[in-house]
Amino acid sequence: MENQKVLTELRDEVLIVTINRNEKRNAIDPETSERLEEIFNDAENDSKVRCIIITGAGERSFCAGEDLSAYDENGGCQTIMAHGFAGITERVSTKPIICAANGTAVAGGLEIAVSCDLIVAAEHAKFGLSEVKVGLLATSGGLIRLPKLVPPKIAAEMCLTGKLISASRAYEIGLVNYVVPSDQVLEKALELAHIIAANAPISLKLTKEILHIAPQVSQEDAQRFCNRCWDYIEKTEDSVEGPRAFLEKRKPDWQGK
């Protein structure tokens, strides 16, 4: 029977993953983190899943980060899985992932959000890394990713003060892609997911790999990797099907090979 702390629904090749702990502001305890790890692992190997959306139950919080009541008796963290916090923060997923931030994403909640490829935020949502306020560190990707996503001085202010910023400010600094009314968050995320899912699966996978690698290497090394990816993809069946479908004015029949 499915762990009710996490709900899943496959809707037209889009897997919707909902952190279902509204009474705990969708904070992550060990059981929830383990279940998320399993869900993401299964999705990686499921050809029926073309895109993933992660969201939270209710409207107050997307995720409040780690459930601080879940530390072991020695103060040790129990929510780090094989692929990081909540099974996602150290994952390089082959599937595009969209965060539908239905409410506040704070601490580990923001670290989950910035692990995703796109973020859709509710108008009332807030974002921040508050670990310094409780004597902890945002080491599940927050301190690493945030300065790459927003201007470094703004990232420093967020990390050092622990203050939250509004959804409109998050959009202004480039942290989120869209800000919509709360009742349209999942709808907008699904709209994006369906556009993505209609594209060629190998193209999506390699595009994600290039986007991940390019900022970490030189321009020359990034171009060499792009060239190798091109050499591979031009030999695939989908690279023949795509242009043919375009010329014949029909929907491509992707085979993923």
Catalytic residues: 111, 131
How do strand 97-101 and strand 61-63 relate by DSSP bridges? Answer: unpaired
**Cα dihedral across residues 176, 178, 180, 185: positive or negative:** negative
Residue 177, phi then psi, degrees to nearest 5: -85, -40
DSSP 57: S
Contact, 157 vs 136, CB < 8 A? no
Q: How far apart are CA 102 and CA 57, in angstroms?
A: 8
H or E element that contains 238: helix 237-247
Q: How far apart are CA 102 and CA 9, in angstroms?
A: 17
Q: How far apart are CA 181 and CA 94, in angstroms?
A: 30
